[in-house]
Amino acid sequence: MRIITYHLLLFGVFCLYQFLAALVAPPVFDPFFPILLGGLFWGLSHRQMALAVLIWGLVSDTYSFLVPGASVISYALGLFLFLQLKRRLALTVFFPALLSLLVSISICELLRLFLIPVLLELSLPVPGFYFVGRILLGTLAWGFLCWLFCQFSMVRNFFELSSI
C-alpha cells in the first residue's frame, strides 16, 4: 500500500506540475528528486527506490531533455550519495539529515542540468549559471518544503526517520 501511495504522490505531483505549466509557466524546480529521496521515510527498500528512480527519471527525461539518460543517471547517483551520507552520518538528527539532503540535491541537480548535458554535447543556455542556478535554488526550496512536510506533518509517525 505504501509503495502505491508513494507512486501516486509522484504521479499527482507530475499532473499538478503540468497543470501549473499550462496555467502560467513551468515552475522553476525539479519536482521529482526531493520526493524520490523521501522513499527513505516511507520505509521503501533499496530495490523499490531504484525502481522509482528509473520510472520517474525516465518520465523526467521524456519531458525535459533532447537526449535520454540525464535524469535517470543523476537521480541514481544522487540517491546513492544520499544513502551513503545516511549510512555514514546516521541521519537521526535534524541538521545533519537536512545538510545531507541539500548536498544530495545540489550534486544531483548539477549533474542533471549541467554536467551530463555537457557530456552529451547539448548546448547550454546563455548565461548557463543563471538558468542552472535558479532551477537548483528552486529545487532546494522544494526539497526543504518536502523535508518540512516529513518533519512536521500530522502523520509524523508514518514519515519519521529511520532509527537504523
Residues at the interface with other proteins (CB under 8 A): 11, 14-32, 54, 58-66, 68-69, 72-73, 113, 122-126, 131-132, 135, 138-139
- In the complex with other proteins, the residue whose CB is nearer, 19 or 94, is 19
Return the percent helix, strand and coil in the chain, to nearest 5. Answer: 75, 0, 25
CB of 132 to other proteins, least distance (A): 7
Task: Write down the number of H helices and E strands in the chain.
Answer: 8, 0
Q: At its nearest, how many Å lie between other proteins and the CB of residue 128?
A: 8
Q: How far is the CB of 154 from other proteins (least distance, A)?
A: 27
Report the alpha-carbon distance of residue 79 to residue 39 in Å, rounded. Answer: 10
User: Which residue type, as a one-letter code, is found at position 42?
Assistant: W
Find, among 71, 32, 43, 49, the residue nearest to 164 by Cα. Answer: 43
Nearer to other proteins, 9 or 90 (CB): 9
- Shortest separation between residue 163's beta carbon and other proteins, angstroms: 31
Residue 75 CB neighbours (<10 A) = 28
Residue closer to other proteins, measured from CB, 88 or 134: 134
CB neighbours of 29 closer than 8 A, spacing ≥ 6? 135, 138, 139, 141, 142
Q: Which is nearer to other proteins, 69 or 96 (CB)?
A: 69
Q: Which three cell numbers stand for residue 9?
A: 504522490
Q: How far is the CB of 39 from other proteins (least distance, A)?
A: 17
